[in-house]
Chain A
Amino acid sequence: MVFGFMNSHIPSLRFEHFGLAAVLVLLGTTQAVAQSEKAGEIARSDHFEKKIRPALVEYCLDCHANDTEANGGLLLDSKSGWETGGDSGPAILPGDIGGSRLLTAIRYNDRNFQMPPDGKLPEEVIADFETWVAEGAFDPRVGMEGPVHEKSKGDDSQSHWAYQPIRVPSVPIGNGESDSVVDAFINDRLRSLGIAAASPASRYDQVRRLFFDLTGLPPNAEVIDEVNRAADFDVAYLNLVDRLLASPYYGEAFARRWMDVARYAESVTLRGLVFKEAWRYRDYLVAAFSEDRPFDLMIREQVAGDLMQAETSQQRWQQLAATTFLAMGDTNFEKQDKQQLEMDFIDEQLDVLGQAFLGQTLGCARCHDHKFDPIPTKDYYALAGVFRSAVALRHSNVSNWVEQPLPLSPEEEQAYAELESRLKQLSSELAAKKKVAASMAAKRKKEIAAGAQSDKDSQGNAAADDEEALAAELKTLESQQQTLQQQVELRPKVLSVSEELPPHNVAIHVRGDVHNLGEVVPRGFLTAVRLGRSIQVPEHASGRLEFAAWLSADDNPLTARVAANRFWLWLMGQGIVDTPNNFGTSGSAPSHPELLDWLAAELIRSGWSSKHVVRLIVLSDAYRRRILEPDEVAAKLDPENRYYWRGQLRRLTAEELRDTMLVASGEMELAVGGSTMKQGTKSDFGYQHTSQRRTIYQPVFRNALPDLLDAFDFATTGFSTGSRARTTVATQPLALMNNAWVHARAAALASKLMANGSEGPPPAWVRAAYQTCFQREPTAAELEVCLEFFEFDQVSQHPMHLERLVHSLLASIDFRYLR
């Protein structure tokens, strides 16, 4: 009504001076006004229906409608939608062209606030919107608003169990069957449910389980033999646990598990660009788990190692290598909107570290307050501000990642400094000479063009000679430059970030959009997690170092629980919290909350010793049970074995399967650490993995994984993996039967057996093959089936049959599934 009056005669700008009351008074004073109002309303309605409504449908409502997830909280599908506005306030102030944010956005005047995001509207459409707003923004769409959007559940979820302090629970009193505290909790639960626990698995099964769990490798036949002969198996088992905890392969097994969580990879999918230095992070993890470095320290080093103090250069190397954690995302370095790319990079970092250390899905809060957990968007951008200073990209068409030089001895530093200055000098000399060459060529071209008919005189010939000499010189210099470049590149570097100050606070990105900025948020951490002592972000530093301290604080209720749950999951096959990367309200509830808190408290009490927690678990009866058929009670109350009344069927991971084949064939090279990417690898496409070292040392290439990894549920390298998928599909047996790499292992194993003196009649071969693959004798029935396989053919064919027999053993159930 009001706008009609505006539209008819009075210039829109005067609206502000009149004020609403004045307009209302004027309305209806005379018939003439009423009539022109009527005419005006028709015109306004016409303009809205012909120009504005179609434009809104075409350009805006895909995102700004009630049935989409309104971007920026702004709805444009009703009048009240734009009146209320979104995260940045009312979108339109009728009559006020300058003050209507919608117009600012569609005019593209503000680099950080442009709508629609995929291209500016045609000029005539923008003009239509301006007219519409100037004339009072007539909008008949009243009373058709949809349901109000659900707000964040933040406040209710504050009471969620995972945000409560870790309490050391009282240990249930057992009935003396086990002195393990783990068992006290587990058995207490079983007793209350009335489920009978299974007895321990056979010695053979326990030893195999322990070997794979603690080292990722099979035991050899002698160990099994030794344990079988031990008078007191419990003592032998205990000794074996300590021996394996001290084994160099322990670190490899646990590093590989953490690498899933850290989305470890040595290339990115786009263009297959390779991270030549990522291996240092893998080696850091192997060493750290092997030496039982405190897990809280490992957290700090991975998040802020570059900002920590170091006493030795070796320590400095490790601190820097740990920060590769921040830089291994599957980034699209080619993205042209570099501002958005930088935010995407930070988003990926927050996503991974939120899940890895806190079990929190922070990514949800990039665009709106977390729907389930007490993580407001503000917290997300407070953290983004912390990571803003950790520069990880150097922009060009395809941006570069950051490699930091590792500290060297003064002599080495000196040598590299000299090489670099020589390279610099040579490069500028080369550039200058190239310029001369170019101008000489241009001059001659011009001369030829100008006076081609004038005969070549001696001067011309001399010029040509000069050019030739210069060309030769350039060639020499270029090759020198290349050599120098190669030498400079040998300098040890690490994939990392570069802390660049002063720090910046980051504005809320409305709906995650870098071109739509809201309120600036001071740097900080998660407000829902409260520590005993407050840790503040300093004014003149990014706060990353403080964030690392906050993250790994003993009284951070999430971190130790999340870590303890991972160790449990890695050994028991399922987590106490079955969603290891999500301890929020949308994750699973813990099956044994007191046990989880007790393990977390033990982790802290032991100085964050992961080996301590691992030892507690593998020494429990719960870990050592046999895998039985459920009795009636168990079948009814706990068919899934959530309460650990029996052992868990464990299958080898892709890496273990590969490694075990290499061990069986006798080809395994058990060296620890080092760069393993082939020299000169520029991209990962079609990379041939030919090394026979453990799988953890094969480059993890996002476009070219080693054989068998894809088929056997290797971790997805695109994001943090808390527990791998566990599929049983036809591509697995196809790989086992037909993959050339597997054939080669079978061939090697067969020749090993023949060379090892187990020649002669097939029965000896079969026995040796079973010992090698399973560390046991074949049963009589198995022996019979195997011997039958040789029967049809002549003796000359036996070696060939042996190869197929061992191939079948490598592909069989017992090779992949422990008992």
Chain B
Amino acid sequence: MLDRKFLNRRQLLRQSACGFGSIASAALLSGSSLAAAASGSISVRSGDADGMHPLPKAKRIIFLFMFGGVSQVDSFDYKPLLAKRHGEIRTFDDARQRAKTGGATEQQIMQSPWKFKRYGQSGRWVSELFPGMAEHIDDLCMLQAMRTEGVAHGPATLFLHCGSTNMVRPSIGSWVYYGLGNENENLPGFVSIAPSNIAGARKYGAAFLPPKFQGTRLVSRSAERFSIDDLTRDDLPMSAIERQMELLQRLNRQQIDQRESASPELEAAIESQELAWRMQQIAPEVLDLSSESEATLRMYGIDDPKTKSYGQKCLMARRMCEAGVRFIEVNYGGDEGNWDQHSNLPQHADHARAVDRPIAALLKDLKQRGLLDDTIVWWGGEFGRTPYSEGKGTGRDHNPGGFTVWLAGGGFKPGFTFGETDEFGFQGIRNRVHMHDLHATLLHQLGLDHKRLTYHHAGRDFRLTDVHGRVVHEVVG
């Protein structure tokens, strides 16, 4: 039964180049013949001359979320002028001040405490914060004039995930899952690994999309094990669980036979029970890191207490990716602290230390397994940081007007840099990419037209990019 379904799913996916409608409805229906009865309905805009979604270049996304806001001028956006003019006072149009007062303010320029070096064939500059990622510089497509909305963490984090700073909207992972369905029936299509509390459950929420497209939270249960809520029970031996399952199936069958009408919904309930049973056996294997070799664990930094946590999450992401999960978010910025260095910029080094080796390992691992071709790895935070110090102190404030995001695999141009910030690394001045544009481009690479991936709710068709967004064709191959 499982195989037949899986095959059908594969067949459906092959059609994804020919039109989106069938896939989205399939996603809605999988596991439930009644999910479509949800309050909204699928809407694919027809009537366009071509009526086509773009050809997919990638099948899934791994999003390495650097919560708190990594400073671009201390990582990938090298601005030697900062050292020359360190300590100088100059007027900047600070985003937070503008939201509050509408005006520009005097700020003190602050140089980067880290040295920069050129790497790879492309010879691009990377600071000493990220020696591991720097080794892969020729695989990365760098967007250096990103801009977004929201000056505070909550709004900007929501904007990053849902394309809105305030209104309740589905997360990009839910949109992707809704648009493409899952490759593996035994696993959820959208997984968020160890999400922190910031912006709450909305950052992996389905909002008005049917609830099945909600992101599934993966939490770390022990040193080597991650878990999904209610996936298994540990207090009984497998033989006992099996016996109880058998009993339940027999009781259900008897109850259904007593009814005067066969109902597709009841059949679906029985089927979902069988699916749950298979998930319960298969998913824990995917979640178990203990089958990985010593060498792999070491590569991801799981042998080092400083890199262990993020290393485990990255390795888990690779396993999920292999198993066919559509959207995997790998969170950094929970208990371990985050990139929000308002007053103590040198702490950036601790966070860089925690993520650099695991991310480098993930890129290497995906590449050697041939997974990078159809997987998009997306690295970035909710905004960048200012090139001047906050309150003339020793940290940097939030900066939504110019920051760096990189992408690898999935058809993004490797070794390519797009966009430029001003001489201080503050605001994008050329080839700026808005967060809406990035969303549009990510969907495009998955074969989804951001203007046609819509859902009808409260009287109108909603989409991830609202009425905005431009596919940045310049950065895809």
Contact = CB atoms under 8 A, between A and B. Distances in A.
Interface in A625-649: 626-629, 646, 649
A660 interface: no
Given A122-B429, A716-B207, A738-B233, A789 B38 contact: no
Contacts of B460: 361, 364, 371, 586
Given A335-B155, A726-B38, 4 more contacts: A341-B166, A727-B212, A730-B31, A738-B232
A62 B437 contact: yes
B468 A62 contact: yes
A813 B260 contact: no
7 contacts: A118-B400, A332-B155, A351-B458, A627-B263, A716-B208, A719-B168, A733-B269
A351 B200 CA distance: 23
Chain B interface category by residue count = 35 or more
B233 A789 contact: no
Nearest to B467: A69
A807 B244 contact: yes
A508 interface: no
A63 B468 contact: yes
Contacts of A730: 31, 272, 275-276, 279
Contacts of A628: 260-261
A341 B401 CA distance: 20
A782 B96 contact: no
Interface centre among B153, B168, B230, B247 (most CB of A within 10 A): B230
B244 A804 contact: yes
Contact of B210 (A370, A702, A727): A727
A804 B244 CA distance: 7
Nearest to B271: A728
A726 B268 CA distance: 12
Nearest to B262: A629
A703 interface: yes
A537 interface: no
Contacts of B437: 62
A371 B259 CA distance: 47
A743 B266 contact: no
A341 B275 CA distance: 44
Contacts of A579: 39
A138 to B, nearest CB: 24
Contacts of A334: 152-155
A626 B263 CA distance: 13
A649 B437 CA distance: 45
B4 interface: no
A371 B107 CA distance: 47
A582 B149 contact: no
Contacts of B445: none
Contacts of A584: 459
Interface of A: 58, 62-63, 68-69, 71, 111, 118-120, 122, 268-272, 330-332, 334-338, 341, 344, 348, 351, 355, 361, 363-364, 367, 370-373, 397, 579, 581-582, 584, 586-587, 626-629, 646, 649, 651, 683, 685, 702-703, 710-711, 713, 716, 718-719, 721-735, 737-739, 743, 779, 781-782, 785-786, 789, 804-805, 807-809, 811-814, 816-817, 819
B240 interface: yes
B200 A270 contact: yes
Given A719-B208, A781-B254, A807-B244, A729 B39 contact: no
Contacts of B349: none
A786 B251 CA distance: 8
Given A336-B100, A723-B39, A779-B258, A728 B231 contact: no
Contact of A111 (B102, B165, B261): B102
A807 B168 CA distance: 37
Interface in B161-203: 165-168, 197, 199-202
B200 A119 contact: no
A122 B430 CA distance: 11
Given A271-B154, A337-B99, A735-B230, A355 B458 contact: yes
B220 interface: no
B154 A726 contact: no
B230 A814 contact: no
A133 B198 CA distance: 46
Contacts of A808: 244, 247-248, 251
Contacts of B422: 122
B289 interface: no
Contacts of A335: 150, 152, 154-155, 165-166
Given A730-B272, A737-B276, A685 B230 contact: no
Contacts of A397: 152
A776 to B, nearest CB: 10
B35 interface: yes
Contact of B401 (A118, A272, A586, A702): A118
Contacts of A269: 199-202
B455 to A, nearest CB: 12
B34 interface: yes
